[in-house]
Amino acid sequence: MHRHPNSSGGQRRFPSAAGRFYPDEPVELRSMVQDMLHKARELSGPSPKAIISPHAGYIYSGPIAASAFVQFARDQQVIRRVVLAGPSHYVPFHGIALSQAYSFSTPLGEVLLDQAAGESLARQGLVEIREDAHREEHSLEVQLPFLQEVLPGCSIIPLVIGEASPEEVGTCLEALWGGQETRIIISSDLSHYLDYETAKSIDYATACKIERLAADELDSADACGCAPVRGLLFAARNHALKCTTIDLRNSGDTAGPRQRVVGYGAFMFTTPASEISRS
């Protein structure tokens, strides 16, 4: 197994975004997450194989994230592990970084890693073990309190995506695809620092690309998590998944001024009934 020199496997990964992106006090955090989930609308039909969820501060993107996570609730007894992939904001690198920590913690407790799945990915050369890419990264961490509330007891395979092609990310997701017990969460915001109306227009166009599974049409101006999103779209096309936009807003709709906003989208990818029946 290839490890980056800065790796320090076997440790607990402590939160770096608590108190900044979301409350660091457990009762306040749980209440906030529960309130957002309660206000989110659960759509009819099968729960998704995958979702895209934003990763900004909860006052800005939390309600949009909740609208994606609540779609898993009906399969709470079935889902046992989650592949969690998001972009690297702090450490530039090529490829896909896996943490070898035994758990990721939040103020709500610990989330265990699926160690066997991670070791399998490393043996196949699909990931690199490097803790430096995970240590300060918020794109995965901010998803965890929602996961802990909706899918308590689930294990995770946490993947920070650097420079990587849709095929590289898609192949990694395929290796973890599994059946009904495994779901995928892609962490991404949309446009950044445009005025409100421009952002609405661009984010709508991006949502249309995502719904068409058009991986080759997306770039980093559309979504900061472009690489993991494109990888999901690559895999989703192979599995004939259907994408539905659940929520599409920006910080001007939630808690910020409208002169300079960040866009957020919640998307769900559902499996054809024929594939569900075989799994």
**Residue-wise pLDDT tens digits, 209-261:** 999 999 999 999 999 999 999 999 999 999 999 999 999 999 999 998 999 99
If phi > 0 it is left, if psi is from -120 to 50 it is alpha, else beta; for residue 255 that is alpha
Domains of the chain plus CATH, in order, are 12-244+252-278 (3.40.830.10)
Residues of the chain with pLDDT > 70: what percent? 94
Alpha helical stretches, state H, 114-195: 115-123, 132-135, 138-141, 144-150, 166-175
Average pLDDT, the chain: 94
pLDDT confidence of residue 273: 57
Radius of gyration of the chain (CA): 17
Structure tokens at 278: 């075989």
**pTM, full prediction:** 0.94
At 10, is the pLDDT very low, low, confident or very high (cuts 50, 70, 90)? low
pLDDT confidence of residue 275: 47
